[in-house]
Structure 1
Amino acid sequence: MRLQVHDFSGHPFQAQLSRELAARGHSVDHVYSAQYSSGKGVLKRTPGDPESLEFSPLDSGRPFQKYSALGRLRFEHAYARTWLEHNRRTAPDCIVACNVPLFALDQFRRAAARSNQPWLLWHQDLFSNAISEELTRRLPGPAASFGGAIVRRIEAGIVRSASQVVAIGDEFRLAYRRWGLDTAHVSVIPNWAPLDEIVPRPRSNAWAAANLPAEPGLRLLYAGTLGRKHNPLLLADLLRSALAAGLPARLIVASEGEGIEMLKADLKKDPELPVTLLPFQPAADLPDMLGSADVLVTILEPEASRFSIPSKVLSSLAAGRPLLGLMPEDNPAAADILAADGYVGPPTEYGVAGAIVWLRSLNRDPAAAKNLGARGRELAENRFGIVPIADRFEAVLRRALPGAQPLPHESHPHPAHAGPSLFRRRQPDAAA
């Protein structure tokens, strides 16, 4: 089966799925945006990858202006044109669309309907909720409500039009029902982290030696996007509160964009604060970077919890380090942190104060901190096996592709699958 897995962001676990599907005999074109800045996975073929796996970066020819409404629209229209041209050249049997911006995705779904292109929506964020929040910040009430209704109608149309939908949590299915949609074509497959790529690493490692001062203390690491759904100043508040409580803490942030600039401006008030600010790091350095930390931090604003489940928590579990979340307790990622005996508090001064109490207990008992990290890794190993995850995706793909039928195959060991593809095009009946 010729598959296109299009993950606009280029994140690690989507690339792992493409590798697994290619190892099973599928021809996989892994597409991503060359212009979007984020923590990336391994987006090129490695010596162990089959020849049936390709990686295709797309460049729209227009700058990606994340926070300019007009610039963002122009980019998305240009990106959609680039993507559609790529689809015409490569002619995949089925397309998996993941993290593609809303208006580009809407152009694609219209083209897919015209050409009867089977496709699967891998729904990571409720874009219309996020856009509605932004409209509320920028526009008067009636205009914001009108714009919110439009984007919800667009996203509902995308969900309705997809051959199949993979949502990352039950919250998505509930949202679809509120939109009046039938959810018979919706499956829920939670996100994960690639266990073979993100492994526990020693605190003292080559990345730490190159990027961090050789000093004792409690390293608090935030690595990932800092966008409108985050309050980056919480990170500065966490550090200041830890130092005021007598904890020898250092804040490490690996990010880019508007949020990191806001954080830098705040930190200029206290130039002596122990802070290390870095850009996004290469995928090969991710295990060492996460391993260099004593605590891995996640933040999420209350309004963002309506449309976002931070997958960075899953990488933190795989890294085997204690987890601290300043986020709403009803977010599914908060449940993951609590399952690993980490700390979750609201993204407020109250939540920061509770985090300091928790950090003080960790600092007093290194053995307990080590046990918390091991607990997180154990949870990850129990939940993130790529073989059963890929089995579930293959089942959804079978339903998405009209005329596909399973092929009998023998069981095969992971990661190299010797068996044939589970799918083939149904051939015309010779008697017809």
Structure 2
Amino acid sequence: MKILVHDFAGHPFTAELSRSLAARGHNVTHVWFSGDTGPKGRLSLLDDDAETLSFLPLGAKIDYSKTNFVKRRRGDIAYGREVAEVIARTRPDIVLSGNTPTEAQEPIVAACRKAAVPFIYWCQDFYSIAASRLLEAKLPVAGHLIGAYYRFLERRQMRRSARVLHITDSFRAQTDAWGIPATQVEVIPNWGALDEIPLTPRDTPWARAQGLSDQARFVYSGTLAMKHNPAFLSGLAAELAAGEQLVLVSNGVGVDHLQQESAQKDLKALKILPLQPIADLPSILGAGDVLLAVIEREAGIYSVPSKILSYLCAGRPIVLAAPADNLAAQILTQTGAGKVVEPEDIAGFIKAALSYRDDPEGAANAGAAGRAYAEAHFQMDRVCDRFETLFDAARKG
């Protein structure tokens, strides 16, 4: 097949999917927004990549802002049109598109309909619902109207898709409520880049290069956005003993908040670093004694923190603040790979993190359980089998 994989954010696991599909003989074009500042996968050709794989960054000239609504909306629309032009020009056999703002997705769906290309809506979260809640909080009247428009668009996009692909069964409730036929909906959980995140000793080259302490290290790696409450991290940093560190490798509005709070409260244990090259990710995660993640309650209903999947590969204990019914929370609870607290329980989060520091055997057991889960569920051959089956079904209608 001639496949266009579009991932607005450029995540590591989607790049791995494109590589694996190309290795099976498919002609794969992997597209992402070059202006997105979040963590990125290996988005350029490697020596052992298949000749049928290509990477295509778009949107380099777009003046984009995540904090200015007007500029962000204009950028989303312009970017979606660039992807639509690629679809019209290349005429793929199928398009898979995820992690995409609602107004960027709209011209992509329209281009597929015009070219009679089956479109798969890869629902990583319900973007319109998250945006609606944020807008309604900031602009009570106008925000409600804009949110309703976004929900209308996303629902219509799903109805016009050959298939809707969820990452968790819990998302089905929303598509059921929107009247999306159950026969049109499939579920393939996300995965971590297992082959790219091997187990490492604690004393990693990256840890030495950063001058990290030999004492307890707590690591948060990935975006710290509005749906990630930074108070959990500053609260933990304030409780750490001398020499212990909370290492934040991140970007986003939450980082700006923590930098200000760290200066005001003199949080000596908090070490803030920018996002690092993807090649350093195994060393970053391996350097941690405990890996941390946070997602707020409302966001946790419609979003599964993908960083947890990378954490599982690293074989380190995990502490997560999230709703108990969130898929990531369920994985940690059921496997024993980590501890989960409610999204408002800062004290419980701190207690859980420090309990792993004080129980090395329990921490090692949790890390081993996480790695075992990753090895059992993140094998790319199985993942590719499921996507090929999905593509075949979508093309048959």
Q: Match for residue 334 of structure 2?
A: 339
- The separation in 2 between residues aligned to 1:368 and 1:249, in whole angstroms, is 19
Matches within 5 A, 1:242-257: 242-243=239-240, 246=241, 249-257=244-252
More displaced 10-residue stretch of structure 1: 265-274 or 192-201: 265-274
Shift of the 368–87 alpha-carbon distance from structure 1 to 2, 3 Å rule, reads: same
Q: Match for residue 235 of structure 1?
A: 233
Report the residue type matching 2:235 in the other structure.
Answer: D
Deviations 1:160-179 (A, max 9, x none): 11111211011221101111
Q: Match for residue 54 of structure 1?
A: 54
Whether the aligned pair in 2 keeps the contact of 1:252 and 1:276 (CA below 8 Å) is: yes
Report the residue type matching 2:381 in the other structure.
Answer: V
Whether the aligned pair in 2 keeps the contact of 1:212 and 1:276 (CA below 8 Å) is: no
Give the number of equivalent residue pairs: 396
Q: Match for residue 222 of structure 1?
A: 220
Shift of 1:77: 1.4
3-state SS of 1:156 partner:
helix
Q: Match for residue 94 of structure 2?
A: 94
Whether the aligned pair in 2 keeps the contact of 1:61 and 1:78 (CA below 8 Å) is: no
| 4+ residue segments displaced more than 4 Å | none
**How does the TM-score come out when normalised to structure 1?**
0.88
Shift of 1:289: 0.4
- The separation in 1 between residues aligned to 2:199 and 2:392, in whole angstroms, is 35
Matches within 5 A, 1:57-72: 57-72=57-72
Larger helix proportion of the pair: 2
- 1:187 has 2:186 as partner: yes
- When Rg is computed on C-alpha atoms for both structures, the one with the higher figure is 1
2:371 aligned residue (363, 371, 377): 377
Whether the aligned pair in 2 keeps the contact of 1:5 and 1:30 (CA below 8 Å) is: yes
- The separation in 2 between residues aligned to 1:354 and 1:249, in whole angstroms, is 19
- The separation in 2 between residues aligned to 1:114 and 1:88, in whole angstroms, is 8
Shift of 1:60: 5.0
- The separation in 2 between residues aligned to 1:360 and 1:18, in whole angstroms, is 39
3-state SS of 1:401 partner:
helix
C-alpha RMSD of matched pairs (Å): 1.6
Shift of the 249–352 alpha-carbon distance from structure 1 to 2, 3 Å rule, reads: farther
Unmatched tracts of structure 1, length 5 or more: 404-432
- The separation in 1 between residues aligned to 2:135 and 2:66, in whole angstroms, is 14
- 1:303 has 2:298 as partner: yes
Report the residue type matching 2:362 in the other structure.
Answer: A
**How does the TM-score come out when normalised to structure 2?**
0.95
3-state SS of 1:92 partner:
coil
Q: Match for residue 288 of structure 2?
A: 293
**Taking every aligned residue pair, what percent have the same amino acid on both sides?**
40
- The separation in 2 between residues aligned to 1:379 and 1:145, in whole angstroms, is 41
Deviations 1:171-206 (A, max 9, x none): 221101111221211100000001100111111011
Deviations 1:103-156 (A, max 9, x none): 01012212222221212111101011111111221122x544333322111110
- The separation in 2 between residues aligned to 1:275 and 1:173, in whole angstroms, is 39
Whether the aligned pair in 2 keeps the contact of 1:256 and 1:279 (CA below 8 Å) is: yes
Q: Match for residue 267 of structure 1?
A: 262
Deviations 1:343-396 (A, max 9, x none): 111233xx2322333334322332321121111100111111111111111011
Whether the aligned pair in 1 keeps the contact of 2:290 and 2:356 (CA below 8 Å) is: no
- The separation in 2 between residues aligned to 1:382 and 1:76, in whole angstroms, is 37
Report the residue type matching 1:383 in the other structure.
Answer: H
Unmatched tracts of structure 2, length 5 or more: none
- 1:147 has 2:146 as partner: yes
Compare relative contact order (CA 8 Å, sep 6+) and give the higher one, 1 or 2.
1
Whether the aligned pair in 2 keeps the contact of 1:129 and 1:306 (CA below 8 Å) is: no
Report the residue type matching 1:230 in the other structure.
Answer: H
